Amino acid sequence: MRSKSIIKTDFLFPNQTNIYKGKVRDVYTINDDYLVMIATDRISAFDTVLPTGIPFKGQVLNQIASNFLDLSSAIVPNWKIESPDPIVTIGYFCEPFKVEMVIRGYLSGHAWREYKLGKRKICGVPMPDGMKENDRFPNPIITPTTKADFGHDEDISKEDIISSGLVSKEDYLYLEDITNKLFDQGTSFAKEKGLILVDTKYEFGRTKDGRIVLIDEIHTPDSSRYFYLNDYSLRQDLGQKQKQLSKEFVREWLIENNFQGKEGQSIPDMNIDFVNQVSSRYIELYEKITGHVFQKADTSNIVQRVKDNVNSFISNQL
């Protein structure tokens, strides 16, 4: 039986006070105190949500994020209370900071595209001359972006973040410190599993009692880029592309099919073979980074399953 995907939700949970639908996640607010975050099977690239869902993608994202939220809680507290369903995490309501903390250990993705254009600074941070794609930076660099509700996130410098009042200097320095510590931990975890954590992003928010906590996802293939460690050096020496576990290969496929989210471009059709390939890559990353065999959830009636599990949690816990 072909696996089903969930790309749209329309729940009405007990004491629901708000709903926000992002590119991938649908977030329901309960009593203005708690968030029910549902990781759908939607996939986005170039700030565009593609029309076809990827089976089990939401489960992969939710379970990887849940795993790393638990593992990183000694570095910084997070918003999570519990994950009552394979694609759901429930946590505390937080006011998000309007910046995303992007950290890069290697010259890849957006940074490489900027570098290739001749730029030697990104977000005000210098990049050394003489690098080639996927080379390691001497030290990881933090290249924050504004967090857009709609449209494109924009690169922004630390100085502009502070001077514009997006984040206070004291809070930004704290976010910077925590970002480095989380990346160090994520890098160590990845190395143990034979992977390189190339770059990633972290999002932070403030709870109602004033604490700064890690929110949203962490170290998933949607927020992070991974290379295989064992042949990284050989591929670099030979000038070959790195084999990676991230959605960058989806971006590359879109570019090959003449789509980069620009005006007038049409989203290419994703046939079933490519959709299954994407699903398999997400599952592969889950197994590589967690060290666990992926257990596919029952997809015969995802909507009812989620509804039952969330309602049960709310009635018993909240």
Amino acid code (one letter) for 272: I
Q: What is the pLDDT of residues 82-106, one digit of tens each?
A: 999 999 999 999 999 999 999 999 9
| Residue from 175, 224, 218 nearest 199 by CA | 224
The answer to whether the Cα torsion of 95, 111, 103, 288 is positive or negative is positive
What integer pLDDT is reported at residue 165 of this predicted model? 96
Q: How confident is the model at residue 67 (pLDDT cuts 50, 70, 90)?
A: very high
Is this structure's pTM higher than 0.85? Answer: yes
- Whether the per-residue pLDDT at 308 is higher than 80: the answer is yes
Q: What percentage of the chain exceeds 70 in pLDDT?
A: 97
Neighbours of 262 (CB within 10 A): 9
Q: How confident is the model at residue 300 (pLDDT cuts 50, 70, 90)?
A: very high
Q: How confident is the model at residue 152 (pLDDT cuts 50, 70, 90)?
A: low
Provide the token pair at 84.
Answer: 């009552």
Q: What is the DSSP string of 189-256?
A: HHHHTTEEEEEEEEEEEEETTS-EEEES--S-TTTEEEEESTTHHHHHHHTPPPPEESTHHHHHHHHH
